[in-house]
Amino acid sequence: MTITMIAIVLVVFLVLAFFRASVISWVLAITVSVFFLASYLRITDGALNGIYLSLLTFFVLFGIAPVRRMLVSGNVLKLFRRILPQISATEQEAIDAGTVWWDGELFSGEPDWNKLLALPKCGLQPHEQAFLDNEVEQLCAMLDDWDITHNRADLPPHVWQFIREKGFFGMIIPKRYGGLEFSAQAHSAVVAKVASRSGTAAVTVMVPNSLGPAELLLHYGTEAQKDQYLQRLAQGKEVPCFALTGPFAGSDAGAIPDYGIVCHGEFAGKKNVLGVRLTWEKRYITLAPLATLLGLAFKLHDPDHLLGGDVNRGITLALIPADTPGVQLGRRHFPLNSAFLNGPTQGDDVFIPMDYIIGGTSRVGQGWRMLMECLAAGRSISLPASSIGGMKVAARSCGAYARVRKQFKTPIGKFEGIEEPMARIGGHTYMIDAARRLTALAIDLGEKPSVISAIIKYHATERGRIVVNDAMDIHGGKGICLGPDNYLGRFYQQAPIGITVEGANILTRTLMIFGQGAIRSHPYVLKEVAATREPDHQRALHQFDEALFGHISFALGNAARSFVFSLTGGRGIPVPHGRETSRYYQQLTRFSAAFAFAADVSMGVLGGTLKRREKLSARLGDVLSLLYLCSATLKRFEDDGRPEADLPLLDWAMQDALYKIQQALQGVVANFPFLLMRGVLSALIFPLGARLSPPSDQLGHQVSALMMQPGAARDRLTDGIYLPRDEQDALGALEAALTSTLQCEPLLAVVEQARKDGKLTMPDEFRRLAEARDKGIVTAGQATQLERDYALRRKVIMVDDFSSAELAVKYE
């Protein structure tokens, strides 16, 4: 009977935790449970009185809010203030920047999937689609990436002129300033399509619309600065760049040594002008060699208090015409054979007036926050778009090449060794494009999702590298020989560029995604941190008490939910209806609860040392990232109308991600530094062990087959890239060869059978086609069709070759 009563009490506690009961509910439940257990058990009167007194004390301490705040929360608050790790000013500004969006739902342990599906459907406005179908199509047709990267190391003059005249530099600039005023989704679609043709052109187009002068002016510039520059930027009369990174401040950009001293000086013939004397050394600055307008980040000092306030004013941003005396630009870096203009800039003791400060004197010292808020564009839009452009080309070309190219008289795509990388290419491309679309939608909805922008930047570039590596393996020798007909080589060479810029991926994974998300996206941590910094004691006490006990209830709830959902595999969780996807929603809800619980245990037990346990933080970041990518993938499937033909792509992407979530959580448990907590995590997250498996071989076969077969599913997977119609173009020839191969295979089978029967004797295929025509095995029209098919297949298979003189090209 005693065991039964204890079991009932434990079930009550589990239910309370599951439904995240309030503090008073827990106090009452514990008090009543202990009272009845003590009364039932055979305990002496003295001991029983002691228990009752303890229960009364417990109830007063935790059940009466003023007493709890004074005796419990107040002491815990003091402890928090002592042990809370120091957060630098730049770290705090990064945390404060941006907004919490769907990442907050994923941190909650019970994401509201209906809220996700209620978001508007991703898509472009008619005028944006028209620009994509016309101006962007025309630009892509002008681009010869081999000529750009090998011969010129630059875009041709007529391409530069077209980009400027057609407003490509002004996609984010409002129409009142002469810009296109495109949505983030349109901006992303333009970059993706251009990237599918030329990485150099894509970078050239995306940088002025990303982190740079135009965006900074739009958000923070004075009206005079906007009027002076935005129209000229939109018209391409000004070429902008922005200089942040330097030799001694890369990933730790907040440590920039570049500085400016507030002083009076002479400028434009005027004396005693209040301004700043700047010294800087920057590198890796895109468009700097050609820029007419230099955005610059530096630390401002005011030793003579000319602006009032402190001497050290913090990171500040300025916009400087390139012809300002002392500004040095023009030299170039050469990043992995990519020809986009990128180079260093220096300045020594360069004087600028105060009105060159972006936003004027009121924005002095706010530069880091301005950068963090605007960085979302580069991370959320530009880099994912450029990555997906290359991924879609890889998916499209691998599907066609694997069907056209034959070895052992069999299309190579039908070999299981090829099916495996083909499945990865298809699944990763489907998922990353879904995340790109959803993240751009968030920007259009007014969000500045700092954590999500780090997630999509990291995974788009990392999976882009995986996809292009797999594509190179499938193409074999065709992929490694550079030349005009190689449509993969430059993607392969330049993949590390996206991985390196806008926050190196190693840093992004190990420090930023979870490190920033744990504070920014968690429903209670930021409130607790804010309470420790509240100067008003009573207000701090009220805020901290509410956050602390809300956090405790939240953690207990996720522990219970994680345990129960692990036992059931998520079955029974109410989710959006849909036979194909309901289990995925349930499994994601289960893992959301497990992630939230593991995150709370990690922060609670490890405290400030978690910041230095980068491998653990990275694995938690992987879980958060994959939860987001899965969310985007399910949203895409719904937006696309739940097409049955796309199910292999959806299933492979989801099953692969869920398996990796399981692996990441296993890694957290296995590597948790304290044995006791390792056992607790294992018992509550994996009480029955790890039961998910990676995608099956059969599912990979279905994805591979889909990619090799022309149709709506293949078109949706690779939608938005440039597809040349010219059969002299390598990709155009490949597309034509795929169609031709499928049409001609029955005829080729007739010819092959005739050869086996001894009716045809010519040793090579091309002459054998003419022999088949002459002997009436095929008609003249069929022979012509087969000869064209042979020519297309030959063009697809052949690689470029050069004379020594041709390879000794000198850049102009």
Please give the backbone phi and psi of residue 298, each rounded to the nearest 5 degrees, phi first: -155, 165
Other CB atoms within 10 Å distance of the CB of residue 420: 15
Q: In sequence order, which residues have a C-beta less than 8 Å from that of residue 237 and are 6 or more positions away?
A: 164
Give the Cα separation of 92 and 533 in Å (integer).
Answer: 12
Q: Which of 502, 528, 546, 771 is catalytic?
A: 502
Q: Amino acid letter at 349?
A: D
Q: Amino acid letter at 687?
A: P
Give the Cα separation of 343 and 283 in Å (integer).
Answer: 6
534 included as an active-site residue: no
SS3 label, residue 751: helix
SS3 label, residue 689: coil
Which tokens in the block code for residue 502? Answer: 């806008």
Question: Sign of dihedral through CA atoms 674, 680, 683, 684?
Answer: negative
Helix and strand numbers, DSSP H then E, in the chain? 36, 8
SS3 label, residue 26: helix
Residues facing residue 265 across a β-bridge: 273
First-to-final CA distance of the chain: 92
**204 and 246 in contact (C-beta within 8 Å)?**
no
Per-residue exposure over 603-640, b if at least 16 CB sit within 10 Å of its own CB, e if not: bebbeeebeebbebbbbbbbbbbbbbbbbbbbbbbebb
**489 and 482 in contact (C-beta within 8 Å)?**
yes
Give the Cα separation of 610 and 605 in Å (integer).
Answer: 9
Give the Cα separation of 742 and 792 in Å (integer).
Answer: 13
Pairing of strands 410-411, 406-407: antiparallel
Q: Amino acid letter at 638?
A: E
**What residues are labeled active site?**
502
